Structure 1
Amino acid sequence: MKLVNISKVIEQKEILKNIDFSLQENEIVGLIGRNGSGKTTLFRTICGQYMSDSGSITIDGTDLAIDPSKRSEIFYIDEKENFLSFYSLKKINQFYLNAYPKFDQELFLDLINQHQLGLNFSYRRMSKGMQGLFQMILAICSNARYLLLDEPFDGLDVIVRKQVIGLLLENISESNRTALIASHNLNELEGMIDRALVLKGHQITQDYQLESLRQNARKIQFVFKSKKVPEIVKQHSKVIQMQGRVITALFENFDTELEAQIQAFEPILFEELPITLEDLFEANLSQETILGD
């Protein structure tokens, strides 16, 4: 799937602007951004609930605006506007059977039985955790190539969350499918994703390949003799935290030459710390102004 120059204005507010990225087979991608940054709008635009004001979304070179049948390759449940929530699991199952030509009914029934979900259950009367588990079962059984998951772990207890994540990871590893996940649970997300897209100021501002990032980036904690932060640190890093004279900074490209230049200032403390997804969030988004979703 490829997005090129996607923009969206809602009620005279620019929500998305010139969004560009591609999704490859067999990867899990995290979409991170602050509340109201436009993550849900992006999902709704990809799946066709919203029409983009510019740009194109293609699957295998086919523009979804020209051939909407390709949208059956995309799975998305909009929990905020879920019109199926008033139905039983059996009726919801029937809807997805009709909507997704490759829906795996045998696997669906097997997973429903494994997790003790009755087909006569009313979706809206189920717990938040059971709803999340059922949604993941639908996503997997749809056999859609692209799974758009908006806060799939929100409100799940530890046991159900492990079940949901286990279902997803097992399925992705066994098929050429892709998941794009928006989640505020960065610790959970970090152990799953291959890439992280940062949505800021209506645009994708960073596309991190996490394996490459871990090889090249460093998170360093400093204390310098002077209260003034050396210019070399300002130029090459994003400051994550300052507590008194203790500075914690993220360097996306750190090498021995840069280290030598910093060491020339004879820092009192120079300590490398492990990089987390939360660090990327803080480094890129802590100063962002939120305008709306």
Structure 2
Amino acid sequence: MIEINGACKNLGDKHVLKDINLKVNKGSIFGIIGENGAGKTTLIKCLTGIFKVDEGEIKMDGQEVFENPAVKEKIGYVADQNQYFPYFKIKELIEFYKMTYPSFSTERFKELNKIFDIPEEKRIKELSKGMKMRAALMLNLSIHPKVLILDEPTSGLDPIIKKKVMSILMEEVAERKTTIFISSHHLNDLERICDSIAIISDGEIKYVNNIENMKENIKKLQVVFKEGISADIGSWKEIMTVEKIGRVYYIITKDYSKDLKQKLYNHGVMFAEEINLSLEDMFIYSMEGRKDNEKILA
């Protein structure tokens, strides 16, 4: 559905995106995570055709996105800061979207507005940040997009509305096979809804994996040895980092298996307990200490 091949983008003299290669399947939810300034928003602006890549290509359903109205009318885009005309009323924005997107459904908007409850007579300048985000989500869901691209879509939303947004996105995928590409700092939200994630750092994709595979392979082991740790354990290919607190060693794996656990017991482990990591934990371990990171991001 979405194919990014060798995409590079410079802004001024800065190389913001460097040889980005990604594939996102139809009807899946793909998350992109990274530190501030890593290149997430620039990648999203290239995906939506706002920016033209300097090298490489970005395609949806086999067609280039940039300067392609036939592709763009199938893309919904919710930015982290929604810059709508401040004096427009919501009802005027609805008319604007109807003129711009042939597939826009007023009925769908009204159905969503029963949940989000924004008066159509309200002007954009009268809305809070959270209300603007709700309006943007409703408008872009109402075009029945084939691809929905979201940049920090829960920013400014209260917990109740945020939960409803997550449910609506999952329903959109289940019922319409919409493809969703989402960037967020709220990693717990991404963990709930994403099929796969990519980590971007300094303009490069460092890691791509299915969420379930990550949970199976990246674990924290709480370990006690009978007579101290074997000196070479930290260099095992299955292990990312080893930390010691008192008598207890904490081992972060990048390729966990029963064979690895047995291998540890063969090296004098007296006790070992598996601790599942959240997506946020995995991200932190992957980004802290660049030399150690290369073990997981290779």
TM-score, length basis structure 2: 0.87
Q: Could you tell me which amino acid in structure 1 is paired with residue 127 of structure 2?
A: M
Post-superposition offset of 1:109: 2.0
Corresponding residue for residue 272 of structure 1: 274
8 Å contact 1:146–1:179 — kept in the other structure?
yes
> Residue 115 of structure 1 aligns to which amino acid in structure 2?
F
Q: In the superposition, relative to structure 1, how do residues 234 and 88 fare at CA in structure 2: closer, same or farther (>3 Å)?
A: farther
Q: Which residue of 2 aligns with 1:212?
A: 213
State the alpha-carbon separation in 2 of the partners of residues 190 and 67 from structure 1: 33
- Mapping of 1:76-155 within 5 angstroms? 76-80=77-81, 82-155=83-156
Aligned to 1:166: 167
Identity, % of aligned positions: 28
In structure 2, runs of 5+ residues without a counterpart are: 292-298
1:1-293 correspondence runs (5 A):
1-65=2-66, 67-80=68-81, 82-224=83-225, 230-235=231-236, 236-239=238-241, 243=245, 246-267=248-269, 269-287=271-289
Per the TM alignment, residue 247 of structure 1 is displaced from its structure 2 partner at its CA by: 4.3
Relative to structure 1, the CA distance from residue 159 to residue 245 in structure 2 (aligned partners, 3 Å threshold; closer, same or farther) is same
Count the aligned residue pairs. Answer: 289
Q: Deviations over 1:20-70 (max 9, x none)?
A: 111111111111111111111111111111111111111221122363431
Range 210-219 or range 196-205, more displaced: 210-219
Q: If the length of structure 1 is used for normalisation, what is the TM-score?
A: 0.88
Cα RMSD between the aligned structures?
2.5
- 1:129 shift after superposition: 2.6
Amino acid at match of 2:273: E
Code of the aligned partner of 1:232 = I
2:296 match: none
Gaps spanning 5+ residues in structure 1: where? none
Q: Which has the higher contact order (CA 8 A, sep 6+)?
A: 1
Give the Å deviation of 1:134.
1.9
Distance across 1 between alignment mates of 2:77 and 2:259: 47
